[in-house]
Structure 1
Amino acid sequence: MSTASRFDKFLENIKVLPSQQVAALTSANAIARKLHSRYGDTPYSDDSRMIIGSYGKGTAVRPPRDIDVLYFMPYADYSRFDQYRGNGQSALLQEIKRLFQERYPKTKEIGGDGQVVVVDFSTGHTVEVLPGWRATGGGFLVPNTHNGGSWQHVDHNAEIKFVADSDIRSLGNTRNLIMMMKVWQTNCSVPIKSLVLEFRSTSFLSGWEYAKKSTTYYDWMVRDFFGELVGKTNSWHTIPGTNEKKHYGDAWLSKAQSAHGRAIKACEYEAAGKDLEAAYEWRKIFGSQYEF
């Protein structure tokens, strides 16, 4: 198999199946409807919620992870929890948690994690629920329970657009690169945030000379991405639509260096026509979803 055909097959193996997308969206809508039964002050519609995260950005991979849903709360509830003497944000998440425990008593886990309530279905689908309000001037206000509680400004529309615009400019390579890096993240247990991989992928492709090329160039793309990533330890990026800085840290550095070394070796094998040897090195990075 050629370089292009192997990477084409790899992408086919890691993209979420239509049936998995439907199942994830069904779970997310069930959660949103349950919230609407308690908090909604208008008839339910899809405008009552927003799919964010990897499903919203079109970068979800197989096996499926969680699906993130932002539910738009009535303003009266913002005023109610904002008046709490201490950490009304935590009180909000705990109230939502109790609501789900009544409706989904057999779920494996329900808990609050800083901003979200996590509903882990026995079917394998996990829904992360983020309550929020549309903010004046754009973006959303969401709860953050850390450090005594606060309301945090986020803009998921800007994050989604950031990835989508890059994907258009790169002729589809941005989402493919992000998905491949998420597989590396899982396969090699890399302690790096998916948001960092998204930022680095879009930034890398904005300056890479082969950014619009086909999968024939994907061996070089992976190699050069890792090479640039290694040089970005402890850097930061401004989260789209906000002034918040996302710091990269360096806990992932040794695994990125290892992946870069293997990608260099794989590219050498590709150039020499040693397809099996090349595929073996890619498999060390990406796991069994990369086929020989």
Structure 2
Amino acid sequence: MSLPVLKHGEIISRDTRSTISTRYHKVTRAINREFWNSQSETQNSLYVGSYGRGTAIDTSDLDILVELPQSEYSRYDFARGNGQSRLLQAVRNSILIAYPRSDVRADGQVVKISFSDGMQFEILPAFKNINWLGQWDGTYNYPDTNMGGNWRSTNPKAEQDAMKQKNNSSSGLLYDTCKHLRSVRDNHFSSYHLSGIVIDSFVYMAMGNWRWLSGDEPSTSAKGDYERVLLDYLNQRAVFRSTILLTAPGSGQEIDTRSSFECLKKVLNYIA
């Protein structure tokens, strides 16, 4: 089977983006009102996940990081008995004020809002990680309620910046490839697991210097060469045929690929 990557192949409609934006602003305002004593609809929040990296093709799950004051971190870090769970409940209660009729629940690391149209927001409360010099190092700490409660770290802005830079240098090929792999996954291998960060990290590393050509540039590659390069990269670097070592673009965070490897290989074989 061969299903080559298409230029601008998968696009989220303007109306859907407008709905996402409206809900994003409403959630942000609810968080700011509760934790920052502010009515701002834009401050202290950002899109993360696939939508934030520019590689989403649907809106079944939208990820938002909301920054909370450092005083809240100290409060819940020292709380007895899983302060992380208590923090998620506090965030949930603030969102319920804005969406009293929606299904809003705390789940592991996020607060989920399920809307009647099938769209779901996952809200990740987080705190800037301040180093010993009193400066923000670019990462955020976020709660994980599992195993009695602990804190994890993420650097979504570094990932977004790295993805954007490489997408620009590849004339849009990076985003188009990531979206294409998602489309094949959803339409042909939906019973398998393949996470968005695995797709994005893999394509970022595997595509090398490939890029879309401008209209007057001659091509020196045959149809399907690019897709075979992606498949060859996976095959050559597979560890015990069950995983591949990947790090997230920009942040360098190690990505666990074990549960996604089988589906990734199926998708790449399908398009190559």
**1:154 and 1:241 in contact (8 A); partners too:** no
Match of 1:57 among 38, 50, 53: 53
Listed as ranges, the gaps of 5+ residues in structure 2 are 131-136
- Shift of the 220–250 alpha-carbon distance from structure 1 to 2, 3 Å rule, reads farther
- Mapping 1:171-186, distance limit 5 Å: 171-186=171-186
| Gap change, CA 1:110 and 1:235, over 3 Å in 2 | same
Query: How many aligned positions are there?
Result: 253
SS at match of 1:164: helix
Question: 1:138 aligns to what SS in structure 2?
Answer: strand
Once the two structures are TM-superposed, the CA of residue 54 in structure 1 deviates from its matched residue by 2.0
Confirm whether residue 121 of structure 1 aligns to residue 129 of structure 2.
no
Secondary structure of residue in 2 paired with 1:86: coil
Distance 1:161 1:17 in 2: 23
**1:148 aligns to what?**
148
Q: Please say if residues 139 and 241 of structure 1, whose CA atoms lie closer than 8 Å, have aligned partners that are also in contact.
A: no
Q: Does 1:68 align with 2:63?
A: yes
The 3 A distance-change label for structure 1 pair 182 and 262 is closer
Could you tell me how far 1:175 is from its partner in structure 2?
A: 0.5
Match of 2:133 in 1: none
User: Which has the larger displacement, 44-53 or 73-82?
Assistant: 44-53
Residue 30 (structure 2) pairs with residue 34 (structure 1): yes
Which residue type is aligned with residue 128 of structure 1? Answer: E
Instruction: Judge conservation of contact 2:84–2:150 (CA < 8 Å) in 1.
Output: yes
Alpha-carbon RMSD across the aligned residues, in angstroms, is 2.7
Deviations 1:166-196 (A, max 9, x none): 2122121001001111112222113121101
Measured after TM superposition, the shift of residue 24 of structure 1 is: 0.7
CA contact (8 A) 2:234 2:244 kept: no
Amino acid corresponding to residue 49 of structure 1 in structure 2: S
Deviation at 1:105, TM superposition (A): 3.1
Which residue, 18, 23, 31 being the options, matches 1:22? 18
Structure 1 pair 66–259 and aligned structure 2 pair: CA distance change class (3 A): closer
Q: Does structure 1 retain, via aligned residues, the 8 Å contact 2:194–2:260?
A: yes
Query: Offset at 1:56?
Result: 1.6
Pairing 1:161–2:166 present? no
Displacement after TM superposition at 1:261 (Å):
4.3
- The corresponding residue for 1:235 is 244
Change beyond 3 A, Cα 1:218–1:185: farther
Greater CA deviation, 190-199 or 121-130?
Answer: 121-130
Higher mean displacement: 110-119 or 155-164: 110-119
Aligned identity (percent) is 23
1:263 is aligned to: 271
For 2:204 and 2:91, how far apart are their aligned partners in 1?
35
Normalising by structure 1, we get a TM-score of 0.76
Listed one character per residue, the Cα deviations across residues 236-261 of structure 1 (whole Å, up to 9, x for unaligned) are 323356564212115542x4444444
Structure 1 residue runs without a partner (length 5+): 265-292
Match of 1:222 among 221, 227, 232: 227
